[in-house]
Amino acid sequence: MLVPCIDDENLCFFISLPCSLQDLAGYGVALAVGKEFANAFPDRTFNSPLVDLMVKDGRNGKNNGKGYYIYEKGSKPKPDPTVLPIIEESRRLTNIMPGGKPISVTDKEILEMILFPVVNEACRVLDEGIVVRASDLDISSVLGMSFPSYRGGIVFWADRVGPNHVYTSLKRWSEMYGGFFKPSRYLEARAKKGMLLSEPASSSLKSNSKL
């Protein structure tokens, strides 16, 4: 089943797993934040109808006991198989799959499809001088999004995975699925030069950081 697959702790190595987190926060937050992001960054936001469809089906996560999981007092959340037709309808409406058919992906590819766009945004923040050092983003990812500290943080982890692998994967996905996966210029430049994402461009680099 799709939901526990995405929420597999061994797969995503996150404390806050995506479907569980959305159920916990409630869908109102996702809808409100999603609209703000879509307005501010239309070329960098993936507009999925899934949350709207979930709400129309009377789901609001843990708030009303029904989301991707079923919540019953005194028992652990259980994956709800009746959510699958909603996910299928969302996939149909989005219509980005090659040939209109679901694709087969490995656990590793699911992990990368979730986290490589986050790395891409981190690269944009570095490129725009919003932070002084890549380590600022590593600390923020650990403290702010529960990125596991033993992985070193989002940029540190991406450097271990390899900037070129991140870049080529995003480039391939952008050609298949659209601009959401389009690599940033910072990531592209680093990958082509064989540089780490955390490596300073020069000692004279100026920052717009207010930290």
**Which among 75, 163, 139, 209 has a CA at the least distance from the CA of 171?**
163
| CATH architecture, domain 107-193 | Orthogonal Bundle (1.10)
**Are residues 67 and 61 in contact, defined by beta-carbon separation less than 8 angstroms?**
yes
User: Taking the complete model, does pTM exceed 0.75, yes or no?
Assistant: yes
pLDDT of 117-174, one tens digit each? Answer: 999 999 999 999 999 899 999 999 999 888 888 899 999 999 999 999 999 999 999 9
pLDDT for 20 beyond 90: no
Question: What tokens were used for 52?
Answer: 């709207």
Which of the pair, 144 or 191, is modelled with greater confidence? 191
pLDDT of 83-128, one tens digit each? Answer: 999 998 998 898 877 776 777 888 888 889 989 999 999 999 999 9
Band (pLDDT 50/70/90 cuts) for residue 68 is: very high
**Are residues 13 and 148 in contact, defined by beta-carbon separation less than 8 angstroms?**
yes
**Residue 23 neighbours by CB distance under 10 Å:** 27
What is the radius of gyration, based on Cα positions, of the chain?
18
**Are residues 30 and 55 in contact, defined by beta-carbon separation less than 8 angstroms?**
no
Q: How far is CA 101 from CA 53, 90, 96, 145, in A?
A: 20, 13, 9, 32
Q: Which residues contact 69 (CB under 8 A, 6 or more apart)?
A: 3, 19, 20, 23, 77, 78, 79, 80
In this structure, whether the domain defined by 2-100 belongs to CATH 3.30.1330.10 is answered with no
Which residue spans of the chain are classified as CATH 1.10.1040.50? Answer: 2-100, 107-193
pLDDT for position 94? 86
